[in-house]
């Protein structure tokens, strides 16, 4: 299958997961285009970011229409992240692709295990639902954005895999609202990081366009599925997707899938 068609298929799958879990899609597309299309490591890091913005925007709109997104929080996180995403992308090019991808895999796996450990018991999430709708402090949102931007620019994964667990764990948001808020942040955050990687020559435009085309359609479908699912189911599925992506990427970069 030509790279263009393959990238549309990858984008469709990644967009579906992005719409479901608020992770921007690059957490899947980075290992997918590395493993299936054989692109160089830094191209695998940079290319998905260019497709993240339209994919995340489609999902964010779907969540906002269902009142499942804190638009203010998402914009603040994304804007703050844009400040640190560009220098982080430059550092990634200096450090080198293989190291960046192994680090990406390790962090993804850690987040997956942490998310599984914190799945609430049935009924616990409903008991605290009223308290979870409080307005988040601006300083905390900006700090989260700066940290997320650094991770996004360095690892090329959009930042959603940091934002969703952070909002659920430390801000006590319901998981669906955290996902919608994350997608708002990701579509803002992905712009400076993708431009930096484009300037550094780390983006394959044909693949990026294919990822975006498939990603928008997949994101809308994924958002619809998650809106109808139970929070506990969403959290477990989110953790499982992270763990699978992290392990596959780690095995590839360590030579087990070559």
| Overall average pLDDT of the 2-12 stretch | 83
**pLDDT score of 126:** 47
Q: What is the mean pLDDT of residues 141-167?
A: 80
Residue ranges of domains in the chain:
3-253
pLDDT tens, residue by residue, 205-238: 999 999 999 999 999 998 888 888 777 787 788 7
HEC string of 117-185 equals HCCCCCCHHHHCCCHHHCCCCHHHHHHHHHHHHHHHHHHCCCCHHHHHHHHHHCCCCCHHHHHHHHHHH
pLDDT of 67 above 60: yes
Whether residue 133 is predicted with pLDDT greater than 60 in this model: the reply is no
Q: How far apart are CA 204 and CA 192, in angstroms?
A: 17
pLDDT the model gives residue 96: 65
The closest alpha carbon to 49, from 27, 71, 32, 34, belongs to: 27
Q: Is the pLDDT of residue 2 over 80?
A: no
Instruction: Find, among 22, 43, 21, the residue nearest to 32 by Cα.
Output: 43
Percent of the chain exceeding pLDDT 90 equals 18
Q: What is the mean pLDDT of the chain?
A: 80
Residues 36-63: pLDDT tens digits? 888 888 888 788 888 888 888 898 999 9
pLDDT score recorded for residue 45: 78
């Amino acid at each position: 299958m030509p790279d263009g068609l393959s990238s549309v298929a990858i984008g469709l799958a990644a967009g579906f997961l992005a719409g479901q879990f608020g992770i921007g899609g690059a957490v899947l597309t980075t290992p997918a285009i590395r493993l299936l299309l054989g692109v160089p490591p830094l191209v695998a890091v940079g290319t998905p970011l260019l497709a993240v913005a339209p994919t995340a925007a489609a999902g964010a709109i779907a969540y906002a229409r269902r009142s499942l997104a804190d638009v203010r929080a998402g914009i603040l996180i994304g804007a703050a992240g844009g400040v640190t995403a560009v220098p982080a992308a430059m550092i990634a090019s200096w450090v080198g692709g293989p190291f960046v991808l192994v680090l990406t895999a390790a962090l993804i796996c850690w987040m997956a295990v942490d998310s599984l450990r914190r799945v609430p018991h049935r009924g616990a999430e409903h008991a605290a639902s009223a308290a979870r709708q409080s307005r988040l402090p601006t300083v905390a949102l900006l700090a989260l954005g700066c940290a997320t931007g650094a991770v996004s620019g360095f690892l090329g994964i959009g930042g959603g895999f940091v934002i969703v667990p952070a909002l659920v764990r430390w801000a006590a948001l319901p998981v669906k609202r955290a996902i919608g808020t994350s997608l708002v942040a990701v579509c803002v955050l992905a712009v400076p990081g993708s431009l930096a990687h484009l300037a550094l020559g780390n983006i394959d435009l044909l693949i990026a366009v294919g990822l975006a085309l498939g990603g928008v359609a997949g994101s809308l479908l994924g958002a619809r599925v998650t809106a109808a699912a139970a929070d506990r189911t969403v959290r477990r599925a989110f953790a499982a997707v992270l763990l699978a992506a992290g392990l596959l990427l780690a095995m590839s970069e360590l030579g087990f899938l070559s």
